Amino acid sequence: MRTHTTRTTTRLALTLTLTTALFAAGCGGEKAEDGIGTKPRDRDTSSPSDSRAQQVADAWDGSKAAEAYRSGYYPMGDAAPSPSKGFHSDDDKTAYMLENYVLRGELPTTAPEEGQAKWEGGESLTLPLLDARQTYAALDRVDSPKDPHLTVTSAKLGEMTIATSRGPATVPAWLFTLEGYDEPLRRVAFEPSNLPKPPIGSAAEGRTTRDGLEQLGQLVEVSEDGRSVTVVAYHGSCDDGPAVDALETDGSVVLSASIVGGDTGAICTSDLRGEKVTVKLDRPLGDRVLLDAFMGRPLPNE
């Protein structure tokens, strides 16, 4: 088994403070504003975190769980990407980030029970299809007309392409008409497949191990060429931010998150900040399983 550990991360420096209100609204750090910064990182390659990453890689590589994962539908892109021409105003962009929509129209009441995810190599997978109202509920996490919002007036069933663990897939999507926009907002009409039982358990209870390994948030995106992945990592207000390292093998990429500066393994205040971190890989991700070293399982996309 060939392994390689990536040590340099590109940090998206504008953080999102995850307040209680945003948690209640279901809004994570995945749609935070982006700023670019670079923070090189030096660590002892024999650290406990590296040992944990290797244990996770060894458990997953060649396992039945990895085989099952490669046969399912696991999105690695945005289920509801923003319009290609952007938003008309800062308020509209904020509404999209907060996932705040208002329905002023009728949604279709009928839909097929199943749909197909289709990959470029000819493979396909039949999955239960979410109807228009179920998909709208997944899109609208806030439903607060008094705050910045986007207005949905109608919807129809169509298709979209999304990055998955098996490469780009064409999948059914509901196309929601937004008031004031010519381009509909697409939202995938599938739920991800159920994850297989991980062959290794979590590193610890809570969010942090004694040696400072942190639980990651969600996967934000995989670059088009597969040479980098962007994830949400957490930190507090009295440190230098998060860092994420990657252990690469032929079958997996294991990401280990930690906090730079401050007290090892501790967040100094009660505010938990989610920050986008982009990790450069040695080679394209391909169909390798992307794993969180802390949890010992694939990163969630939502």
Six-digit token pair at 245?
């390292």
Structure confidence at residue 270 as a pLDDT band (50, 70, 90): low
pLDDT at 40 exceeding the cut of 60: no
**47 membership: H or E segment, kind and range:** none
Could you say which DSSP state residue 26 is in? Answer: T
Q: Look at residue 295 and tell me whether its pLDDT is greater than 90.
A: yes
- Residues β-bridged to residue 190: none
**Tokens read off for 207:** 């969010």
DSSP 214: B
From 172, 248, 233, 291, select the one nearest 39 (Cα to Cα): 233
Q: Tally Cβ neighbours within 10 Å of residue 163.
A: 20
- Read off the pLDDT band of 91 (50, 70, 90): very high
pLDDT of residue 259: 85
